[in-house]
Amino acid sequence: MRIFLTGGAGFIGFHTAKSLLVRGHAVTAVDDLNPYYDPGLKRARLKELDGEKNFRFVESDIAERRAPAKAAEADSSDLILHLAAQAGVRYALTDPAAYTRANLVGHHNVLEFARSMKGLGQLVYASSSSVYGNDTAAPYSETARADHPVSYYGATKRAGELLSHSYAELYGLQQTALRFFTVYGPWGRPDMAYWLFTDAILHDRPIPVFGRGKLKRDFTYIDDIVAALVRIVETPFAGEGRQAPHRIYNLGNSHPEEVLTLIRLIEQATGKTAKIEDAKGPAGDVRETYADIAKAAQDFGFVPKIPLAEGIPRFVEWYRKYHRI
């Protein structure tokens, strides 16, 4: 299969590209290598894919109107996997325009590109658990209205889903939205708590902890996410009755853990004690995330296999090796 992948140098994009290539697929990956976090990490991920004969990388910004089509050149694709986004809940308080540009304008450009492609099987794209906000009863189901996001990031991801639904209604564009829940693991994102806490603990710096560590997150290991993504990519699109061809799935561990549990596991993996400082949580944070994954389990056999107690030592081991600590 020929796959056009946006966000190919990102955390989930890199791991997914690697798995797809192993399985014999051809991947054209696009990424703008922006400085939201260290571009050197993104380039290091790409270096891991050097020499793969079925891999092509194009540095390009999907928020530029014709960028997706230019990046694809004359190559046709069987499927678009759209993982590029401006991520992070808190950074949206500093630069909301970046989220509008990447998550709305960029998403629209990918939709237009997909609409122009003949023979495209489907567009699979990343959404987020942040669409649920604080008003949804746990565990979060795809049938929830999800119309009260508490962060601007969550609002842009929900808006992207609505844009996609309209393209499904208007043009019959087959799409699958994936609401990811707190993905972590090797080659992860430096803005995420598990990375920040590990770095601080290893370097004897205090870590600010919101809500006395009682906030809960549905931490989901990267290998479980990638396994689901590959299964979805390789499964022909199946609609849902008379509805528009736009499906939504939760992908999470379905086992929320307190942030304090995360810290204790990092302490065990590093052999060091955290210096915890109570801090006031920023606007946009939710109390809990908790995925109902029954739909993904039924349609794709999705069953997460890596608990947090196993995934965190794997991350810490990679982190030490990458940073030579």
Residue range 233-239: mean pLDDT, rounded? 93
For 51-171, where are the E strands, in sequence order? 55-59, 79-82, 122-128
Q: Which residue has the tokens 């969550």?
A: 154
Residue range 23-27: mean pLDDT, rounded? 97
| DSSP H/E element including 254 | none
The predicted pLDDT at position 213 comes to 87
The predicted pLDDT at position 283 comes to 66
**Whole-angstrom distance, CA of residue 153 vs CA of residue 104:** 11
Residue range 35-46: mean pLDDT, rounded? 98
Query: 78-92 pLDDT, tens per residue?
Result: 999 999 999 999 999
Q: Is the peptide bond before 282 cis (omega within 30 degrees of 0)?
A: no
Closest CA to 231 of 136, 135, 297, 139: 297
CA dihedral 147, 308, 316, 288 (to 10 degrees): 30
Spell out the domains of the chain, with CATH numbers in brackets.
Answer: 2-181+219-253+293-305 (3.40.50.720)
Catalytic site residue from 36, 153, 167, 249: 153
Instruction: Yes or no: say if 136 and 287 are a contact pair by the CB < 8 Å rule.
Output: no
Name beta bridge partners: 123.
Answer: 80, 175
Residue range 114-142: mean pLDDT, rounded? 93
Residues 242-275: b if buried by 16+ CB within 10 A, e if exposed: eebbbbbbbbbbbebbbbbbbbbbbbebbeeebe
The predicted pLDDT at position 284 comes to 62
Active site residue 167: no
Q: CA end-to-end span of the chain, whole Å?
A: 40
**Whole-angstrom distance, CA of residue 213 vs CA of residue 288:** 12
Least-confidence region, from 113-127, 135-149, 211-225, 261-275: 135-149
The predicted pLDDT at position 166 comes to 98
**Whole-angstrom distance, CA of residue 21 vs CA of residue 53:** 9
Distances (CA, A) of 157 to 154, 248, 281: 5, 12, 22
Instruction: Yes or no: say if 260 and 216 are a contact pair by the CB < 8 Å rule.
Output: no
Instruction: Yes or no: say if 63 and 109 are a contact pair by the CB < 8 Å rule.
Output: yes
The rounded percent of the chain whose pLDDT value lies above 90 is 87
3-class SS of residue 244: coil
Closest CA to 266 of 303, 294, 308: 308
DSSP at 119: T
Q: How confident is the model at residue 198 (pLDDT cuts 50, 70, 90)?
A: very high
The predicted pLDDT at position 282 comes to 67
Instruction: Yes or no: say if 123 and 110 are a contact pair by the CB < 8 Å rule.
Output: yes
The predicted pLDDT at position 163 comes to 98
Instruction: Yes or no: say if 147 and 161 are a contact pair by the CB < 8 Å rule.
Output: no
Mean pLDDT computed over every residue of the chain: 95
The predicted pLDDT at position 137 comes to 86
The predicted pLDDT at position 286 comes to 82
Instruction: Yes or no: say if 229 and 222 are a contact pair by the CB < 8 Å rule.
Output: no
Pairing relationship of beta strands 216-217 and 257-258 according to DSSP bridges: antiparallel
